[in-house]
């Protein structure tokens, strides 16, 4: 193998900015999967990413796309408006768990219920990341956060919300899948899911939702390696991976 073959080239749709994400955080992995998928389906110059509040908000530093920042939780509403005005564009709503399932639950459900022709990428790391590690709607029972220092107590705050299962009760979504980024095999599956969700939109099929189980080592208080192990042992049994709906099939 010569030196040229060893050179790593970033996707066309990624910037050259050095990452700011914490070691072991999988937001950067998801960014890369979106970028590769856009390259492969030829939509780099026709994509618009919507990012709300939270760690997700900084995606526009890393993807060389047009982008719009939405108020907390309102990314699906903003995506709806942009897609209806520009139906030829590929519109991506990129959201975290606190954003999509807490303050943004209304926008999430109604955009899915209308079957808007958008792609929603939902990064579920079971905690509020940017704001200091508070309990999120997806925080696991017994999980310690800055607002549940003895662990999440279901009798007090209820059980974690399963987004794919809720959206699967609606008639209009065409594609719903939950994937993970905790090891190479699952990263490859996540890439296929994200690419399919983007292709569905490009082909005018309707609303696609991909949930990505992700890590937050800093706020979980774990090393990157331990965080991947915790995701596999604790999150996946409660948030099972797989396709919940694929109307093509």
For the stretch 225-249, pLDDT in tens is: 999 999 999 999 999 999 999 997 5
Is position 181 within any domain?
A: yes
Is position 96 within any domain?
A: yes
d(C-alpha 162, C-alpha 31), whole Å: 23
Residue 68 predicted with pLDDT over 50: yes
Is position 2 within any domain?
A: no
Residue 167 predicted with pLDDT over 80: yes
- The CATH number for 36's domain is 3.40.50.970
What is the percent of the chain where pLDDT is above 90? 86
* pLDDT score, position 8: 47
Domain count, the chain: 1
CA dist list (Å): 218 to 44, 66, 249: 32, 30, 40
In this structure, the chain runs to a length of: 249
Q: What is the mean pLDDT of the chain?
A: 93
The DSSP line for 201-243 is HHTT---EEEEEE---HHHHT--HHHHHHHIIIIIHHHS--EE
Task: Band the pLDDT of 67: cuts 50, 70, 90.
Answer: very high
Q: Which two tokens stand for residue 204?
A: 């005018």
d(C-alpha 84, C-alpha 166), whole Å: 25
Residue 113 predicted with pLDDT over 80: yes
Residue 60 predicted with pLDDT over 60: yes
Mean pLDDT, rounded, for 11-21: 89
Is position 231 within any domain?
A: yes
* pLDDT score, position 9: 58
Helices (H), 25-117: 27-41, 75-85, 97-98, 105-114
Mean pLDDT, rounded, for 25-52: 95
* pLDDT score, position 227: 97
3-class SS string, 45-71: HHEEEEECCCHHHHHHHCECCEEEECC
Is position 157 within any domain?
A: yes
* pLDDT score, position 126: 96
* pLDDT score, position 230: 97
Structural domain span for residue 168: 20-246
**216-244 in b/e burial notation, b at 16+ Cβ within 10 A?**
bbbbbebeeeebbebbeeebeeebebeeb
Q: What is the pLDDT of residues 176-223, one digit of tens each?
A: 999 999 999 999 999 999 999 999 999 999 999 999 999 999 999 999
Is position 10 within any domain?
A: no
Other CB atoms within 10 Å distance of the CB of residue 55: 23
Is position 25 within any domain?
A: yes
Residue 7 predicted with pLDDT over 60: no
Is position 6 within any domain?
A: no
* pLDDT score, position 249: 56
* pLDDT score, position 132: 86
């Amino acid at each position: 193998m010569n030196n040229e073959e060893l050179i790593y080239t970033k996707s066309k749709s990624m910037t050259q900015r050095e990452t700011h994400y914490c070691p072991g955080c999988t937001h950067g992995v998801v960014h890369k999967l979106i970028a590769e998928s856009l390259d492969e389906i030829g939509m780099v110059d026709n994509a618009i990413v919507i990012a709300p509040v939270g760690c997700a908000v900084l995606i526009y530093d890393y993807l060389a796309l047009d982008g719009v920042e939405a108020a907390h939780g309102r990314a699906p509403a903003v995506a709806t408006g942009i897609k209806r005005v520009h139906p030829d564009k590929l519109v991506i709503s990129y959201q975290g768990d606190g954003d999509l399932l807490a303050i943004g639950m209304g926008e999430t459900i109604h955009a899915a219920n209308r079957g808007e022709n958008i792609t929603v990428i939902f990064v579920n790391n079971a905690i509020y990341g940017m704001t200091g590690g508070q309990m999120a709607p997806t925080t696991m029972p017994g999980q310690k956060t800055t607002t549940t220092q003895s662990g999440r107590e279901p009798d007090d705050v209820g059980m974690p919300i399963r987004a794919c299962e809720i959206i699967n009760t609606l008639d209009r979504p065409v594609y719903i899948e939950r994937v993970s980024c905790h090891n190479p095999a699952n990263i490859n599956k996540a890439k296929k899911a994200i690419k399919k969700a983007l292709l569905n939109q490009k082909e005018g099929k309707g609303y696609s939702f991909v949930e990505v189980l992700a890590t937050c080592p800093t706020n979980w208080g774990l090393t990157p390696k331990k965080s991947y192990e915790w995701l596999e042992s604790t999150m996946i049994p409660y948030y099972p991976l797989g396709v919940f709906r694929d109307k093509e099939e």
